[in-house]
Amino acid sequence: MSTPEFRAGQGHEVLVARDLHKSYGARPALRGLSFSLKGGSILGFLGPNGAGKTTAIRILTTIIEPSAGSFLVAGLGSDRPREIRRRIGVLPESLGFPGNMTGLEFVTFYGRLYGLSAGKARTKAQAMIQAVGLKQRGRSLIKSYSRGMRQRLGIARALINDPAVVFLDEPTLGLDPKGQQELQGLVKWIAKERNAGVVLCSHQLSEVETVCDEVVILSAGRVVTQGAVSDVIGGSESNVVRVHVPEAARSDARQALQHAPGVVSVQASDGEAGWLRIELASEASFSSNGQHVNNGILNVLIASKIPVLGLQSGGGRLQDVFLEITQGTIQ
Amino acid sequence: MSGNANVGSGSGSPTWWIVMRKELHELWVGGKALTLLLVYTILLGVLTWVLASNSELSLIPPKEMVYETLKAALAVGVFIGVIIGADSISGERERSTLEGLLLTPTSRRQIITGKFLAAASPWPAAFLVALPYIWLLAQGDEAFGQAVLWGAVFGTILTPAFTAMGMFVSYWCNSNRTSLFVGLGVYLFFVLPTQLPGSAQTGTAGRFLQWVNPMQAPDFFLEKILVNNRTLGELWTWIIVPAAFAVINLALIFLYAGPGLRLEAGGAGEAGGAWTRRKATAAGVFLIGALGALGPIPALALQSNQETPAMEVQAAPARTASLVMGIDMEFVTVRAGESVFYETTVTNSTTQTSPDLILAMNIINLDALGDIVDPEDWSPQRTQYQGGLAPGGSATHSWRVNAILDGDYMIYTVAIPQPAGQEATTHPVASPGIHLTVTPFTRLNPGGVLPFAIGGPVLVLIGLLYVYRRRRRGIDEGG
């Protein structure tokens, strides 16, 4: 594979995957994964369990070899795994930590494995520990860390070598909402401030929707859709409006809206109390009386004396897209 | 902060050194190695006290106590190596810490090297801990120096060998429990035969099984060197198998497992791994073949050498008309409780076959006022029988004398040809004598051993607490 000259920085492709395949015996785990990622942007990696996300991450981080296909990391071909490892940072889904080391010792150790002298590794580890918000606990034993602190520490470790590409596998798994929010901020910081390309693997669809610029959705080892998050969402359900009403009034609202102008169907939104998913007729922006279809929906609800708690229009959400194209196999 | 800058690669320290230091930190500061060492010290203390007590009751000579203690120190030291080795890779898999290491640009072999050196580190400490006990039991006997020398040699061979074996098992296992089970199973397979009584493994096949067992061969070697005063020249072949076992295991771990280390158990490694694995396999086959070829040599050689004493002197023949009696020792000094081994050779120097012979051993007290010596108390071989010797033929007989009381003695053996009939007699032939000096038995008061038996573990415990407290001072106690 050719190794084109790599120029670091925002806007340059830092990761290119070309038709990656992987089989375990006769069982295909990945079938033709291709995408590219630019420095400073965040790519969401989605898929139901068994879709091939972890296999893809492990191939791209040189832990396993692909059965076919190739990839470039920071201009380095997949035939140079050790050099690639020097340019990537990874937070695996279930990274273990040595409980009897302090966070600072842990990150310093990894800094040394990346070739830093003892002094430089320690200085850099301190900077990374501070950057991820663990300065106050850097000298505490890791076994005293909470899950969120360990995830932060894992990110500090992943950044110790100034990687061009950072792979984060389920970084917010098991965290409370505040912890999730803080970590999402950290992920954005990695991309925007450090100009690294970030591959974020997550089951939290709202998180991907909030944080990522682009998304790749895998199902059974195949890419089922990919592109900018807004394109994927908008392109798939541009004729859907979602309305939030009190749960007790949802049934009445559904009946009332069945006959509203431009409405094709009304369904309760799965797993979301009080939300209704209203499918509109194609090109139903305006009804026959010249009123915007959203106004018509609101008028129907107001006339029925049903409180309107919220309204989302202009397409569905990533969750809807995901459920639609993966046929609800998300866990 | 500027991103994407390539990090330097010249830290000055090789990666195996960095990995080893981290592993040492986890082992020693984490407390695992010190805890194992504490248990080991308690075991040695108990063993020393038991040996000292038995020494009072059954006159166990210092050499045997030194041998028993060194044997236990080696077995337990190797055991610690197996446990740590078996945990080193599968444990990292189980704790999900291996992936982090594999994601760095470090070569797999350097990771293995660092882990191996750290896993083998408890042995020197364990050996140092054992030395005071061995010194105490030796009671000034020269066996102490021999024990230090050969303990260091065999520990340095066996501990890396079994640690590497444990690591190789660990390399093939995803579960720590499995690797510990298999590793300890292999260890027991080699160790259990060392607990069999000597009579269970006799003959060429039995001796070969001892020779080919990397744990039994050192035991045999140490017993003969420390207790029976044998020489390295006689016994060097007993080092071959332990050394070969070490070479095979080190080759497996560094040439085979090293390049192939990965997230899942076993399997293929990076490019070049297949070639090095082929080399390792070829080396293993070669070594096994070489061992097979060498195997019968010591086994057969020991058939004739089995009871050869170390203190050989020029045989001094005593002549009669028809028989010559030789003995391989002129004088010897031992402590009460020790044993003397010697050989006599009777040769038929006539042109006729000799009658059957009765060989009788006698011990005479040279102190006129001394105690009467009853050979039955002193030796299990008071008499031996020898069929008629062909003209020019000879026969060698081995004798053992247990020195019961201190004093000055003469040992000699008499060959008595069977008379032809009631009205005939023969001319007994006596061997030259062995001047035996027996010095008093040094009493090892078990009460005097107690400070060592208890003090050793206490010292290690203090070390453990010191490391723990020092560590606590170096960290924040945040919760």
**Positive/negative CA dihedral, B157, B159, B162, B165:** negative
Amino acid at B267: G
Spatial contact of B209 and B120, defined as CB atoms under 8 Å apart = no
Residue A79 DSSP SS3: coil
Q: Chain A interface, mutation test: which of B2, B7, B473, most A Cβ atoms within 10 Å? A: B7
Cβ B4–A110 below 8 Å, yes or no? no
Optimal mutation site among B2, B6, B16, interface A, most CBs of chain A within 10 A = B6
Determine contact, residues A183/A152, Cβ cutoff 8 Å.
yes
pLDDT in tens, A183-206: 888 899 889 888 899 999 887 777
pLDDT at B382 over 80: yes
Q: What proportions of chain B, in percent to the nearest 5, are helix, strand and coil?
A: 55, 15, 30
pLDDT, tens only, B398-409: 898 888 777 888
Residue B201 has pLDDT above 80, yes or no: no
In chain A, which residues have their Cβ closer than 8 Å to the Cβ of B18? 109, 112-113
Residues of B in contact with A105 (CB under 8 A): 25
Report the alpha-carbon angle B208-B211-B215, nearest 5: 135
Q: For strands B394-402 and B339-348, give the pairing.
A: antiparallel
- Exposed, middle or buried by CB within 10 Å (0-12, 13-18, 19+), for B29? middle
| Minimal Cβ distance to A116: which of B7, B96, B106 | B7
Beta bridge partners of B66: none
Per-window interface: A 231-260 vs B, CB < 8 A: none
Among A6-10, B94-98, B135-139, B466-470, where is mean pLDDT lowest? A6-10
Q: Tell me the two tokens of residue A27.
A: 């069982």
**Separation CA A257–CA A5 (nearest Å):** 59
* Among A288, A278, A192, residue whose Cα is nearest residue A240: A278
Task: Determine the average pLDDT of the residues in A90-96.
Answer: 87
Q: Which residue in chain A has the smallest CA separation from B263?
A: A63
Which of B135, B20, B133, B30 has its CA nearest to residue B76? B133
Which chain B residues in 263-292 lie under 8 Å from chain A, judged by CB atoms? 263, 270
Residue written as token pair 């002094």: A119
**What is the distance, to the nearest Å, from the Cα of residue B180 to the centroid of all Cα atoms in its chain?**
24
Question: A101 near B26, Cβ under 8 Å?
Answer: yes
Are residues A63 and B262, on separate chains, in Cβ contact within 8 Å?
yes
In the stretch 105-144 of chain A, residues with CB closer than 8 A to chain B read 105, 109-118, 120-121, 127, 131, 136-137, 139-141, 144
Yes or no: say if B385 and B326 are a contact pair by the CB < 8 Å rule: no
**Could you read off the pLDDT of B76-115 as tens digits, one per residue?**
899 999 999 999 999 999 988 898 899 999 889 999 999 9
> Using the 8-state DSSP alphabet, how is residue A192 labeled?
H
Q: Hey, is the C-beta of B4 within 8 angstroms of any chain A C-beta?
A: yes
Report whether B167 contacts B116 (CB < 8 A): yes
Pairwise CB contact (< 8 Å): A162 & B479: no
β-sheet with A76-77: strand ranges across? A27-38, A13-24, A68-73, A76-77
- Report residue B107 CA to chain centroid gap: 36
Q: Return the ∠ at Cα B193 (arms to B188 and B194), rounded to 5°.
A: 95
The per-residue pLDDT of chain A, averaged, comes to 84
B106 contacts on A by Cβ (under 8 Å) = 113
Question: CA angle, corner B185, sides to B180 and B189, nearest 5?
Answer: 150
**CA B437 – CA A105 distance, rounded (Å):** 65
Determine whether the interchain pair A115/B476 forms a contact, defined as Cβ–Cβ distance below 8 Å. no
Q: What's residue B111's pLDDT?
A: 93
Q: In whole angstroms, what is the distance from residue B284 CA to residue A107 CA?
A: 40
Q: Is-contact A149 A176, C-beta < 8 A?
A: no
Q: Please count the other Cβ atoms lying within 10 Å of the Cβ belonging to residue B308.
A: 19
Our measurement of the distance from residue A83's CA atom to the centroid of its chain's CA atoms, rounded to an integer in Å, reads: 26
Segment A64-90 shows an average pLDDT of 92
Give strand ranges (E) for B303-406: 318-319, 323-327, 331-335, 339-348, 357-365, 383-386, 394-402
**B260 neighbors B269 (Cβ within 8 angstroms):** yes
Is the pLDDT at A144 greater than 80? The verdict is: yes
Which residue, among A58, A87, A105, A113, would best test binding to B if mutated, counting the most B CBs under 10 Å from its CB?
A113
Helix (H) or strand (E) holding B430, with range, is: strand B429-430
Average pLDDT in the B134-162 region? 89
Place of tokens 């969401």: A44
| 3-state SS record for B369-387 | CCCCCCHHHHCCCCEEEEC
A163 CB within 8 Å of a chain B CB: yes
| β pairing state of A197-201 and B407-417 | unpaired
Whether complex ipTM tops 0.90: no
Partner residues linked to A265 by β-bridges? A279
B479 compared with A106, residue with greater pLDDT: A106
The alpha carbon of A84 is separated from its chain's Cα centroid by a whole number of angstroms, namely 22
Q: Is the pLDDT reported for residue A40 higher than 70? A: yes
Nearest CA in chain B to A166: B4
Highest mean pLDDT among A168-172, B295-299, B377-381, B467-471: A168-172
Residue B153 has pLDDT above 90, yes or no: yes
User: What tens digit of pLDDT does each residue of A206-235 get?
Assistant: 788 888 989 898 888 888 888 887 777 766
What phi-psi label fits residue A330: left (phi over 0), alpha (psi between -120 and 50 degrees) or beta?
beta
- C-alpha B295/C-alpha B240 separation (Å) is 10
- Of B3, B377, B382, residue with least CA distance to A12: B3
The answer to whether residue A7 neighbours chain B at the CB level (below 8 Å) is no
Interface test with B, best of A54, A65, A80, A112 (most B CBs within 10 A): A112
Contacts of A327 (CB under 8 A, 6+ apart): none
Give me chain B's average pLDDT, please.
Answer: 80
* pLDDT surpasses 80 at B345: yes
Strand ranges inside chain A, DSSP E: 13-24, 27-38, 42-46, 68-73, 76-77, 88-91, 165-169, 197-201, 214-219, 222-228, 240-244, 263-268, 275-280, 310-312
B413: amino acid identity, one letter: T
What does the CA dihedral B97, B102, B106, B108 come to, rounded to 10 degrees?
100
B392-448: pLDDT as tens digits: 889 999 898 888 777 888 899 999 998 888 888 888 899 999 999 887 766 666 666
Residue written as tokens 């020790």? B338
- Identify all chain B residues contacting A39, using CB atoms and an 8 Å cutoff: 3-4
Query: Does the beta carbon of A162 lie under 8 angstroms from any beta carbon of chain B?
Result: yes
- Quote the minimal CA–CA distance from B213 to chain A in Å: 37
> What residues of chain A lie within 8 A of the CB of B29, using their CB?
100
Beta strand pairing status for A42-46 and A197-201?
parallel
Residues 73-112 of A with CB under 8 A from B: 74, 81-83, 85-88, 90, 92, 94-98, 100-102, 105, 109-112
At B11, is the secondary structure helix, strand, or coil?
coil
Q: Does A11 touch chain B (CB under 8 A)?
A: no
Report the gap between the CA of A21 and the closest CA in chain B (Å): 18
Q: Which residue of A has its CA nearest to B98?
A: A96
Cβ–Cβ of A95/B96 closer than 8 Å?
A: yes
Contact B183, B174 (CB under 8 A): no
What is the DSSP secondary-structure string of A226-258? EEEHHHHHHHH-TTEEEEE--GGGHHHHHHHHT
Residue B269 CA to its chain's centroid (Å): 37
∠ CA A317-A321-A326, rounded to 5°: 145
A147 touches chain B (CB under 8 A): no
Token pair recorded at residue B411:
């040992």
Closest chain B CA to residue A87: B6
Q: Mark yes or no for CB contact A87/B476 under 8 Å.
A: no
**Which residue of A lies nearest to B267 if distances are taken between CA atoms?**
A64
Q: Distance, in angstroms, between A3 CA and closest chain B CA?
A: 16
**B277, pLDDT greater than 70:** no
Residues facing B364 on adjacent strands = B410
Contact A286/B at CB under 8 A: no
Question: In whole angstroms, what is the distance from residue B169 CA to residue B340 CA?
Answer: 45
A122 min Cα distance to partner chain B (Å): 12
Q: Do A8 and B5 touch (CB under 8 A)?
A: yes
Q: In chain B, which residues have their Cβ closer than 8 Å to the Cβ of A92?
A: 96, 99-100, 103
What six digits make up the tokens of A147? Answer: 């899950």
Please check the confidence at residue B151 and state whether its pLDDT lies above 90.
yes
Contacts of B115 in chain A (CB under 8 A): none
What is the reported pLDDT for A265?
A: 86
| Token pair listed for B214 | 């990397």
Whole-prediction pTM? 0.72
Backbone torsions φ then ψ of B336, nearest 5 degrees: -55, 135
